[in-house]
Structure formats: C-alpha cells, structure tokens
C-alpha cells in the first residue's frame, strides 16, 4: 500500500454507506429526513441499552435498594451519557472528520497522516488503531446477542414458564436476520427511522408515566448525587461502573456514521430525541424502584402495564434487530476498508444495490459473525451474563478513539499542547476509569470479545507482515523495468495486435507475468500497460486524481491507479480515463495478465513458521485478484509462480 496519499482530491464521489443501511442519496435529503434516518441507524444500539443497563447495576446484589443509592446510580448514568456521548462524541469527536468520513478507520488514517513525519509514532498509532478496529468485531458479536436476548427476556416477565423459549427464539431471530443479509437491506433501512422513533417515544412515555408518580426522582439530575455516592462508596462505585457503562454502548456509531448523515442531523437527533428519551426512561425506572423494589429483576419491562407487555416485547425485539442490523452492515463496511488498507486478504464483496454502492455483503464475514454470536448466546444464555462480556471491548475502543483524537487535534489541527491535553485529558481519564472497572469482569466473560479481537488482530498483522515479506522478496528478485525494455527492444520480439495490461504491485519492476509471456508465447502486444493499484489512507480519491501515467517508449506505459479506502476498485473502468491521453485502449482487444503466486513458508528469517503457514493459507484462500479488481473473466491470463518467504 502506498501511504503518501494526496492531501486533497477533487470531484469526490458520494460517500458510500458504511454501518449505514440507508441510501447514499440521503446526503441530498432534507434535514428532517436525515434526522429521522440518523435516529434509526445511528442510535439503534444505544437506544436498546435501557433493556438491561439499570437491571445489571443492581443485579450483583452488592448495592442495597435505598433512595440514596437509586439517586446516586441515576446521577451516574445521566452524567456518563452527558460526558461520554454529549461532550466527547457529539461535541468533540464529530469535529474530527476525514474528508467528511468518520469511524475508527477514518480517525486512524487522519492521525497517521498527521504524524507521517514521525515514523515510529505513526507505526505505534497504526497498531493501536488496527487493534481497536479488531475489537469492533468482538463488539459486533456481543451487541446482537445481548440486544436480542434482552428483548426476548420480556417473556420471563410475561409468564415465567416461557423462560425456556428465550434462547431458542433468540437464535431463530438472529438466524433470520443473517439469512436476509445477502438480499440487501434497502427496504428494511427505510423502516428503521420510523420504528426507532416509535421506540424512543414509547420508552419516554413509560418513563414519564412513573416519574409523574414520583417527580422527586428528577433531583438525581444534579451531579451532587453522583459525587456523594462515589465519595461514600469509592470501591463499590468503581466496580459498578462496569455496569453503568452499558448505558453508552453504541456511542461509537455516532462517529462511524458521520460520513453518511453529517454532523448536524446526528447532533439534532441526539439532543432533541435520543438523550431526552433515554433520560426519561432511566429516571422512570428509578421512580419505579423507589415505589416497588421487587421490580429490580427487570425494571424496564415491569414499567409497562400487563396489557402492554406483548406489544412492548415485539417493539423491543424490532429495536434490537435494528441495532444488530446497523452493526452487521458496519462489519461489512469496516472489512472492506481494512482490505483496501492491506490488512486482510481479498474477499468476495457482493453489491446488493445497483443504486447505492455502500450496500455490500461479504459472505465470510456474515456467517463468521453468526457462528460467533450463536456461540455467545449458547455460552452465556442471558443478557445478564453477556453484560459481563460487554464493556471491555467498548471501553478499549473509547480509549483508543480519545488517544487518536489527541494526535489529530495536536498534529493535524495544530492546536497548542496545553489546549490539546485539556480537550482530551478529561475524557481519557473518564475512559480509563471505565476501562479499569471493566477489567474486573475479564474472567467473567470479558475475555470473550478480547479473544475475538485478538484472533482478528493476529490475522490482520500476519497478513500485513506477510505481504511485506512477499513484496520484499519480489523486489529483491525483480529487474528494473526501464532497463529491461531497453534491452528487449534491441532485438524485439514479434508484436501482436491488441493491448496487454500487466498488473504489478511494484511500479518500475518487471512483472513475472511479462517474463512468462515472453518465455512461453514469445510475443509482445502492440500496446503494453504496467498497472499498479495503490490504496491510500484517505476515504475518497476523486476521478481527477484516479490515474497517473508515464510513457516508457515503444508503446509501453506505466500506469498508477489510486483509490481511497472507501472507493470501489474497478481497473477496467479506471483505464477508460486513458482515452485522449495518447494511450487509448479498446476493451474487446485488451488482455489482463496476472501473476498467481504460491507462497512457500521456510524456516529462518521472516515471521515465525506458524505465522508463515497461516499467511500461506490466507493467501491461498483469498478471492481471485481478477474478481477483486473487476477484470472481465474472459480477458484474464494468469501465470503461476512460487515465492519462498
């Protein structure tokens, strides 16, 4: 991957949907429709936290249900939402857009570009950012499991005898959700906003219903109660923060979906709808606990009158599916971006919409996530048990986001050091306390998302290091292209009509496919293009920056094609831009020559032998380069070669 990305790019295409499932045409929509869509896509996850957050705080039995304790916990929840979501994400982090895009990958690219003159620091930031991205997959397993389980546990309140159906029904719902992914999500996406608005309206109404009976509960909005509770029970507070953090699950989605909705709709949706609804519901649960301590076993569902339980379970399940869907689609998008950045092998990417290029489906990711989620549901069985697994991955990602934000503010925006420390230091301290609290849950389930993230990190770093070894080996054995062509045309081979496109990872070197073609076919095409595809650490590269062309003489050309990590790779389409630049090509008479390399692990040097074997297997199983580059199958010629690493 070439890292010297241009600073700016003109004619930037419309952003693709990342963890979004609504059409990219929404970027041209009116503000109200964007706010509605943002409520559905961005806030589905955090909106379902009311199902289990308050319950888990009191579930341990360490905290007595006294008035002071209820006030203290509510105050902690409210100010956690305020500091982490409102101030950190909505006010600060949303400002750190990478050419309009957000998310950990975009932040990582922004931070690494800001410190590109400090290679050692840049290497550390890349490793930390990629690890945070890997933890996203751990979050992607826990979120659907805990959300759908939490919704289905309403059956326990409806009738205790239905408890045995919670896990089977959860698995059926999740299977149906993953089974429809290949069909695309445009239709579902249009319903996300209205359904989620109904959800927030209902949870707000439930909260108001109980607050009216006990309006004194609103005193807990005062941070005094959080401070007194923390001062009186410092160790207990530290332990309970591992459950309190559940109220901000999904906060990363605010930043991840920035590129699709923009700052203003996301901010309006939070302050006008989501924050008030969440606050009212949590305080309603607190008011209920004051009057009915028995409701602690499931305060959310016990807020509802008996006649409303069935529709509430149905609505909660729909909200949980929406929260899960947004995260699944986000996993597809993140995987595509990571592939573009060179940290994963090529995978078959299916576009599920002819209108919206952001709607994609990756078979391996879809069913890999499903298998891991089934494992989580079967192992943990309840949302309470899963809550122990939740938190570590989320808090680690929050810490990494804050860390990267500091380097963006300091080195990309060039603010004074004192201001940068002040802007991010408080958030880092808060994140660190929550992270430390969640470490206490490591052996109760917190290891699970960390194990998933660690496994993905091993795959990503092995692929990245293996590719570097491969390219180093190829470069060491390669000849200079310009010198080779000069010697070749002293006694030129037979020229045949048409255009030959030789794909090569290293510009300026002789592709193995060219050597094999000359050796076996003993001919050279009339026109020869030596094409290198380069992926950059920026989201988008516009069409006017897509191609660089260099004349090599003898109707031979060196061509570089540049893509951002959110652009779709399509080599034939890019080469059409050569028209009128002295190198017109005719698609019907163009052949694409690829070198199909077989990796042979060897002892000594390079990576550990188990990593070399893992890399060789990943390389073998990678989808065909021709498919990834969108080459016409009837025009591709592959030449085999072996590379020892």
Query: Are 63 and 135 contained in the same domain?
Result: yes
* Per-residue pLDDT, 188: 59
Query: Are 402 and 490 contained in the same domain?
Result: no
Length of the chain: 645
Phi, psi of 281 (to 5 degrees): -70, -45
Whole-number mean pLDDT of the chain? 85
- Assess contact for 49 and 290: CB atoms under 8 A: no
Residue 64, CA distances (Å) to 220, 228, 247 in order: 17, 16, 20
Give the 3-state secondary structure of residue 636: strand
Residue 276, CA distances (Å) to 204, 264, 271, 366 in order: 8, 17, 7, 34
Query: Are 533 and 573 contained in the same domain?
Result: yes
For residues 533 and 505, give the distance between their C-alpha atoms in angstroms, rounded to a whole number.
Answer: 7
Q: Which residue has the higher pLDDT, 173 or 40?
A: 173
Query: Residue 77 above 90 pLDDT?
Result: yes
* Per-residue pLDDT, 7: 35
Mean pLDDT of the 194-209 span: 95
Tokens of 409: 């503010």
Query: Are 475 and 438 contained in the same domain?
Result: no
Phi-psi region of 574 (alpha: psi -120 to 50; beta: other; left: phi over 0): alpha
For residues 279 and 268, give the distance between their C-alpha atoms in angstroms, rounded to a whole number.
Answer: 16
What totals of helices (H) and strands (E) does the chain contain, helices first? 26, 8
Query: Are 485 and 404 contained in the same domain?
Result: no
Report the Cα 497 to chain-centroid distance in Å: 46
Phi, psi of 568 (to 5 degrees): -90, 130
Tokens of 636: 């591709």
91 Cβ contact partners less than 8 Å away, ≥ 6 residues apart: none
- Assess contact for 570 and 629: CB atoms under 8 A: yes
Domain presence at residue 8: no
Domain presence at residue 466: no
Tokens of 120: 């050692």
Give the 3-state secondary structure of residue 303: helix
Domain presence at residue 2: no
Q: Which of 427, 445, 463 is the last residue of a domain?
A: 445
Query: Residue 137 above 80 pLDDT?
Result: yes
By C-alpha distance, which of 538, 466, 568, 510 is closest to 2? 538
Query: Are 379 and 497 contained in the same domain?
Result: no
Phi, psi of 339 (to 5 degrees): -60, -45
* Per-residue pLDDT, 358: 58
Greatest CA span in the chain, whole angstroms? 96
Mean pLDDT of the 366-382 span: 91
For residues 460 and 456, give the distance between their C-alpha atoms in angstroms, rounded to a whole number.
Answer: 6
Domain presence at residue 68: yes
Q: In the chain, pLDDT over 90 holds for what percent of residues?
A: 32
Tokens of 17: 């949907």
Domain ranges, residue 280 = 24-445
Q: Which of 408, 428, 445 is the last residue of a domain?
A: 445
Domain presence at residue 461: no
Query: Are 482 and 436 contained in the same domain?
Result: no
66 Cβ contact partners less than 8 Å away, ≥ 6 residues apart: none
Q: For the domain that residue 203 is a member of, what is the CATH number?
A: 1.20.1740.10
Give the 3-state secondary structure of residue 563: strand
Prediction pTM value: 0.81
Q: Kindly write down the DSSP assignment for every residue of 374-440, as one continuous string.
A: HHHHHHH-SHHHHHHHSSHHHHHHHHHHHHHHHHIIIIIS---HHHHHHHHHHHHHHHHHHHHHHHT
- Assess contact for 502 and 593: CB atoms under 8 A: yes
Query: Residue 260 above 80 pLDDT?
Result: no
Query: Are 350 and 497 contained in the same domain?
Result: no
For residues 149 and 164, give the distance between their C-alpha atoms in angstroms, rounded to a whole number.
Answer: 12
DSSP strands (E only) in 566-628: 590-600
Domain count, the chain: 2
Domain presence at residue 456: no
Mean pLDDT of the 254-270 span: 85
For residues 332 and 351, give the distance between their C-alpha atoms in angstroms, rounded to a whole number.
Answer: 11
Q: Which of 396, 411, 445 is the last residue of a domain?
A: 445
* Per-residue pLDDT, 554: 85
Domain presence at residue 74: yes
- Assess contact for 411 and 150: CB atoms under 8 A: no
For residues 303 and 220, give the distance between their C-alpha atoms in angstroms, rounded to a whole number.
Answer: 19
Mean pLDDT of the 413-441 span: 91
Mean pLDDT of the 220-231 span: 95
The owner of tokens 């289990």 is 52
Domain presence at residue 5: no
User: Which DSSP symbol is given to 297?
Assistant: G
Phi, psi of 595 (to 5 degrees): -100, 115
Query: Are 142 and 291 contained in the same domain?
Result: yes
By C-alpha distance, which of 407, 331, 316 is closest to 363? 331
Q: Using one digit for the tens of pLDDT, what is the confidence trace for 384-411?
A: 888 878 888 888 989 999 999 999 999 9
Query: Are 515 and 403 contained in the same domain?
Result: no
Query: Residue 482 above 70 pLDDT?
Result: yes
Query: Residue 68 above 90 pLDDT?
Result: yes
Query: Are 277 and 323 contained in the same domain?
Result: yes
Q: Which residue has the higher pLDDT, 19 or 77?
A: 77
Query: Are 335 and 231 contained in the same domain?
Result: yes
Mean pLDDT of the 41-60 span: 87
């Amino acid at each position: 991957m070439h890292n010297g990305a241009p600073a700016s790019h003109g004619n930037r295409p419309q952003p693709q949907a990342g963890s979004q499932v609504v059409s990219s045409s929404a970027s041209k929509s009116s503000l109200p429709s964007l706010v509605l869509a943002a409520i559905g896509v961005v806030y589905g996850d955090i909106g379902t936290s009311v199902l289990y957050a308050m319950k888990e705080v009191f579930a341990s039995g360490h905290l007595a249900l006294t008035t002071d304790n209820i006030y203290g916990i509510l105050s902690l929840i409210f100010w956690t939402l305020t500091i982490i979501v409102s101030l950190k994400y909505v006010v600060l982090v949303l400002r750190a857009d990478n050419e309009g895009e957000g998310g950990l990958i975009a932040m990582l690219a922004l931070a690494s570009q800001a410190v590109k003159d400090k290679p050692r620091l840049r290497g550390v930031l890349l490793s930390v950012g990629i690890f945070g991205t890997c933890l996203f997959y751990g979050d992607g397993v826990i979120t659907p499991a805990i959300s759908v389980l939490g919704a289905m546990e309403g059956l326990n309140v409806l009738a205790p005898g239905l408890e045995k159906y919670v896990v089977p029904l959860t698995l059926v719902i999740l299977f149906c959700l993953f089974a429809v992914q290949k069909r695309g999500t445009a239709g579902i996406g249009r319903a996300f906003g209205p359904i989620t608005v109904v959800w927030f309206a209902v949870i707000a109404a439930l909260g108001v219903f109980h607050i009216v009976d006990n309006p004194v509960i609103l005193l807990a909005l005062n941070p005094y109660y959080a401070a007194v509770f923390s001062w009186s029970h410092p160790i207990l507070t530290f332990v309970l923060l591992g459950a309190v953090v559940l109220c901000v699950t999904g906060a990363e989605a605010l930043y991840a979906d920035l590129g699709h909705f923009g700052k203003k709709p996301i901010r309006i949706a939070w302050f006008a709808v989501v924050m008030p609804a969440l606050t009212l519901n949590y305080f309603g649960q607190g008011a209920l606990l004051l009057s009915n301590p028995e409701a602690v076993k499931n305060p959310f569902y016990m807020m509802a009158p008996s006649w409303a339980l069935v529709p509430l379970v149905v609505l909660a399940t729909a909200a949980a599916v929406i929260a899960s869907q947004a995260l699944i689609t986000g996993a597809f998008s993140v995987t595509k971006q990571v592939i573009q950045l060179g940290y994963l092998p090529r995978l078959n990417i299916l576009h599920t919409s002819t209108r919206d290029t952001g709607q994609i489906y990756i078979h391996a990711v879809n069913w890999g996530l499903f298998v891991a989620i089934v494992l989580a549901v079967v192992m943990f069985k309840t949302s309470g048990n899963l809550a122990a697994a939740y938190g570590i991955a989320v808090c680690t990602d929050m810490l990494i986001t804050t860390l990267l934000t500091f380097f963006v503010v300091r080195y990309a925006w060039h603010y004074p050091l004192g201001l940068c420390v002040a802007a991010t230091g408080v958030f880092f301290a808060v994140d660190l306390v929550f992270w430390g609290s969640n470490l206490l849950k490591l052996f109760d389930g917190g290891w699970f998302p960390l194990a998933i993230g660690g496994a993905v990190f091993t795959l990503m770093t092995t692929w990245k290091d293996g590719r570097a070894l491969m390219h180093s080996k190829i470069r060491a054995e390669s000849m200079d292209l310009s010198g080779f062509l000069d010697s070749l045309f002293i006694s030129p081979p037979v020229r045949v009509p048409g255009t030959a496109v030789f794909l090569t990872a290293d510009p300026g070197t002789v592709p193995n496919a060219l050597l094999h073609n000359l050796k076996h076919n003993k001919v050279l095409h009339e026109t020869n293009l030596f094409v290198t595809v380069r992926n950059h650490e920026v989201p988008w590269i516009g069409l006017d920056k897509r191609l660089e062309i260099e004349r090599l003489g003898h109707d031979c050309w060196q061509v570089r094609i540049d893509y951002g990590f959110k652009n779709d790779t399509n080599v034939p389409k890019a080469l059409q831009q050569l028209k009128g630049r002295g190198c017109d090509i005719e698609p019907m008479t163009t052949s694409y020559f690829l070198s199909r390399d077989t990796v042979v692990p060897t002892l000594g040097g390079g990576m550990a032998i188990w990593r070399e074997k893992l890399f060789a297997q990943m390389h073998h199983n990678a989808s065909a380069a021709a498919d990834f580059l969108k080459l016409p199958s009837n025009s591709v010629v592959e030449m085999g070669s072996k590379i020892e690493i």
